[in-house]
């Protein structure tokens, strides 16, 4: 017995030592660009936590968000001040925690160190995982909570413990209050559980009465935000601005199934052929110290967890009931292909074969997701944040020496309500990119623009431009749309000669200095 205990301790130390190296490298990747300028969605977070504590819930709801995540960010900024790193810190910590959680759960599932290392390693280098760990939004926390509750949900299938039931139910509620769309993740788990109940003729550990009770708790916990959900549903057409209808199989590319699982299957098959290995399903799960008899049984759960959420989101989007078929709304299930790839590695027999498989799959992942080539191109790992609001506002403040008007196209979808809703709270919300972490100074004369047809100015908006014979525009839009906006501006001011005196681009944020002079006036 003592020899076995000693062996288990050595195995645990070896595994967690290797995991620590992977997590360390992954942490470096996550902190690599964490000091870059916040982009629009992150500036919403900055704006929400920049007011008083009592204002957090109201400001979060204006942006269709639950306030829970923002309380965490507020705590971070109180400790470290209001800066990019502090605002992103909760997501950074969740992203690092996800690597630990994925590796540890895989180790417990199959008892193969290389499988846990591979799954954690793929999380460490995955493009999506790095981006969301650096983004001051709740999605990295959603990923961590979703994975932990899935592990507890799996344990309930064999042995029902109150601790695991609390983890599952609490995880469902916490996910929901981090982001409302995470209810999609729960549907896959419940559908898989229903199929297992039918297959096992109700002999599973997690009984129907227990599942119904836990689901009822989640429903009751959601009651306080039903009115907010109704408000969001009433404005669901706004999502048409950025969520287009695409076929469901594009989600395979979003979450890199071909890069991880397909490569893992090919590499592991090649290793087994070279070793003349016999793949006997009944023995694959018999690993020393494994808590689950066979890892094969967990694969359908992972696949169902991912597939059902994707198909429901696609169906809701296609039917225009709710446009939620979007990568970030499904990011909670993004771990599935990495976990499946790690489990594939268990099929290889022997440490050398598994080490070779690990290195080959990791090399293909790093090369395939573009991180290596991007680093050699400009020293960055990802280029998703293309909005340098910090640079744009810094340059504008240095150039603007008076209270000349500044018109701001934030790009927020809620900005299209400006014509119908003249409330000060909406105006304040639509100016959040230039009033929170990167404020325009002086603040007088700053006006928000609609997102659609921003160049079609109302008479009220035209007034300051005419009075000052020009002004400034801060535009969040791709460069290809600038010409159309300038054309709309000229049509809005037919009696004026419009000239662009200065034009600076900061990624997808542009700053223009515009002169507006009466036609025929002497110069």
Question: 422: exposed, middle or buried (C-beta count within 10 Å: 0-12, 13-18, 19+)?
Answer: exposed
Pairing verdict, β 470-476 and 406-409: parallel
pTM, to two decimals? 0.91
Q: Write out pLDDT tens, residues 369-409.
A: 888 888 888 889 998 889 999 999 999 999 998 888 999 99
User: How far apart are alpha carbons 82 and 7 in whole angstroms?
Assistant: 49
Q: Is residue 178 within 8 Å of 145, Cβ to Cβ?
A: yes
- Spatial contact of 381 and 32, defined as CB atoms under 8 Å apart: yes
Structure tokens at 205: 């550990």
Q: Are 142 and 331 in contact (CB under 8 A)?
A: yes
Please report which residue ranges of 458-523 form alpha helices under DSSP H.
459-468, 482-492
- C-alpha atoms less than 13 angstroms from C-alpha of 295 in its C-beta half-sphere: 27
pLDDT of residue 370: 86
Q: Which of 381, 378, 308, 302 is nearest to 337 (CA)?
A: 302
Instruction: Note the residue count of the chain.
Output: 523
CA pair distance 395, 381, nearest whole angstrom = 26
Task: Note down pLDDT in tens along the chain; length 523 residues.
Answer: 566 667 778 888 899 999 999 999 999 999 999 999 999 999 999 999 998 899 999 999 988 899 999 999 999 999 999 999 999 999 999 999 999 999 999 998 988 899 999 999 999 999 999 999 999 999 999 999 999 999 999 999 888 889 999 999 999 999 999 999 998 889 999 999 998 888 776 566 788 899 999 999 999 999 999 998 888 888 887 777 778 889 999 999 999 998 898 888 888 888 877 765 444 444 444 444 433 335 678 889 999 999 999 999 999 999 888 889 999 999 999 999 999 999 988 888 888 889 999 999 999 999 888 888 888 888 899 988 899 999 999 999 999 988 889 999 999 988 888 876 678 888 999 999 999 999 998 888 899 999 888 888 888 888 888 888 889 999 998 888 888 898 888 888 888 888 889 999 999 999 999 988 876 554 4
Name the DSSP class of 52.
Answer: -
Long-range contacts: 209-216, Cβ < 8 Å, 24+? 210/160, 210/165, 214/165, 214/168, 214/169, 214/172, 215/190
- Residue 456 and residue 219: Cα distance in Å, rounded? 45
Query: Alpha-carbon distance 7 to 302, whole Å?
Result: 31
Cα atoms found within 13 Å of the Cα of residue 321, Cβ hemisphere only: 6
pLDDT at 519: 63
């Amino acid at each position: 017995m003592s020899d076995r205990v000693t062996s288990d301790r050595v195995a645990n130390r070896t595994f967690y030592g290797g995991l620590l190296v992977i997590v360390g490298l992954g942490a470096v990747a996550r902190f690599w660009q964490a000091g870059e300028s916040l982009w629009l969605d992150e500036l919403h977070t900055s704006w929400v936590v920049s007011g008083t504590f009592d204002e957090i819930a109201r400001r979060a709801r204006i942006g269709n968000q639950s306030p829970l995540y923002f309380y965490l960010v507020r705590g971070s900024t109180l400790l470290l001040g209001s800066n990019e790193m502090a605002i992103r810190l909760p997501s950074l910590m969740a992203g690092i925690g996800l690597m630990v959680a994925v590796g540890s759960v895989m180790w417990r599932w199959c008892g193969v160190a290389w499988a846990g290392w591979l799954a954690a390693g793929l999380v460490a280098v995955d493009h999506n995982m790095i981006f969301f760990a650096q983004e001051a939004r709740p999605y990295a926390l959603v990923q961590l909570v979703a994975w932990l509750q899935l592990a507890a949900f799996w344990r309930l299938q064999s042995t029902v413990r109150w601790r695991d039931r609390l983890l599952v139910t609490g995880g469902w509620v916490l996910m929901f209050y981090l982001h409302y769309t995470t209810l999609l993740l729960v549907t896959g788990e419940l559908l898989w559980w229903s199929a297992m109940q039918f297959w096992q003729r109700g002999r599973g550990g997690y009984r129907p009465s227990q599942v119904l009770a836990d689901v009822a708790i989640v429903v009751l916990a959601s009651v306080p935000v039903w009115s907010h959900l109704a408000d969001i549903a009433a404005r669901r057409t706004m999502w048409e601005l950025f969520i287009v209808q695409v076929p469901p199989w594009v989600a395979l590319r979003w979450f890199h199934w071909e890069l991880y699982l397909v490569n893992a299957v090919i590499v592991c098959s090649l290793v087994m052929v070279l070793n003349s290995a016999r793949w006997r399903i009944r023995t694959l799960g018999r690993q020393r110290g494994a808590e689950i008899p066979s890892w094969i049984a967990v694969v359908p759960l992972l696949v169902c967890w991912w597939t059902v959420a994707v198909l429901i989101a696609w169906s809701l989007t296609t039917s225009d009931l709710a446009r939620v078929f979007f990568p970030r709304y499904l990011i909670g299930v993004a771990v599935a292909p990495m976990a499946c790839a790690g489990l594939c590695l268990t099929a290889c027999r022997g440490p050398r074969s598994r080490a070779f498989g690990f290195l080959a799959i990791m090399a293909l992942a790093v090369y395939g997701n573009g991180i290596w080539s991007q680093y050699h191109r400009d020293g960055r790992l990802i280029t998703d944040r293309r909005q340098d609001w910090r640079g744009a506002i810094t340059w504008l403040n240095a150039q603007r020496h008076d209270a000349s008007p500044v018109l701001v196209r934030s790009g927020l979808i809620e900005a299209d309500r400006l014509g119908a809703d003249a409330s000060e709270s909406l105006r304040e919300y639509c100016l959040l990119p230039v009033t929170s972490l990167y404020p325009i100074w002086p603040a007088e004369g700053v006006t928000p623009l609609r997102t659609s047809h921003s160049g079609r100015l109302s008479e009220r908006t035209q007034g300051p431009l005419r009075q000052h014979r020009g002004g400034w525009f801060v535009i969040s839009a791709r460069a290809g749309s600038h010409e159309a906006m300038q054309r709309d501006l000229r049509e809005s001011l037919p009696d004026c000669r419009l000239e662009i005196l200065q034009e600076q681009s900061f990624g997808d944020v542009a700053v223009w200095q515009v002169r507006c002079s009466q036609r025929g006036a002497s110069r």
